Amino acid sequence: MSKRSIETRASEIEESHGRKLTNRQKEFARYYVEGTHSNASCARMAGYSNKNGIAKIQACKLLDPKTFPHVAEYISELREDRERKYGVTLIGQLQRFSELSKSAEENGQFSAAVNAEKIRSSLGGLTIDRRETSHFHAIEAMSREQIEDRLKELRGAHPGAFVDAEYEEVNGAKTRDIALEQIEAKDTPALERDAD
């Protein structure tokens, strides 16, 4: 499908649901169909706020066909267009990696066979690749002084990232209950709702 026919199809979707697809919704759908970003990242890149985790919430709403049926249908249309354009389908990819795995195993290339099976199981949703690097855990090996020194360095290099605020240490049930009562007594502003 050409760009024009996607836009024509978008108009038809809008008409059938009686709701307009906003530019942000269209961008979210495009990023989502690419399949290279998390749902929340797609929402952020499409222009939704990330304040208080709203991007993640908005992504969930946009993917809910009951809440936004026109967005769900547009995503489906974009997927079909991509599959027609590139000839890539989930089932096709699963079959291809299965063939590659078998062929590699028959040729004694067990590492390649294992890699193909890893990708296949990931595509099928059986596994999730969770790589962690050790530098995130370097703080565990640091002393309190080292941590405080590092925080001072970071505060000096990035003053805008630190907020000076008063805090109160809460110890035990008595002070915790008082702190909770103070929080509940404050008028908490309602989350801003997007018009989309």
- Residue pair 80/89 in contact (Cβ under 8 Å)? The answer is no
User: Rounded to the nearest 5°, which phi and psi values hold at 17?
Assistant: -100, -10
pLDDT digits (tens, 9 = 90+) for 33-43: 888 888 899 99
- Residue pair 17/70 in contact (Cβ under 8 Å)? The answer is yes
First to last CA, the chain: 26
In 3-state terms, the chain is what percent helix, strand and coil (to 5)?
A: 70, 0, 30
The fraction of the chain above a pLDDT of 90, given in percent, is 21
41, 44, 38, 34: which is closest to 78 by C-alpha? 34
Token pair, residue 134, equals: 């050790």
**CA angle 119–120–123, rounded 5-degree value:** 85
pLDDT category of residue 129 using cuts at 50, 70 and 90: low
pLDDT digits (tens, 9 = 90+) for 56-106: 999 999 999 999 999 999 999 998 888 777 766 777 777 888 888 899 899
- Residue pair 120/97 in contact (Cβ under 8 Å)? The answer is yes
pLDDT category of residue 28 using cuts at 50, 70 and 90: very high
190 pLDDT higher than 50: no
17 pLDDT higher than 50: yes
Q: What confidence score (pLDDT) does residue 34 get? A: 85
Which of 21-30, 74-83, 117-126, 180-189 reaches the highest mean pLDDT?
Answer: 21-30
23 pLDDT higher than 90: yes
Q: What mean pLDDT, rounded, does the chain reach?
A: 80
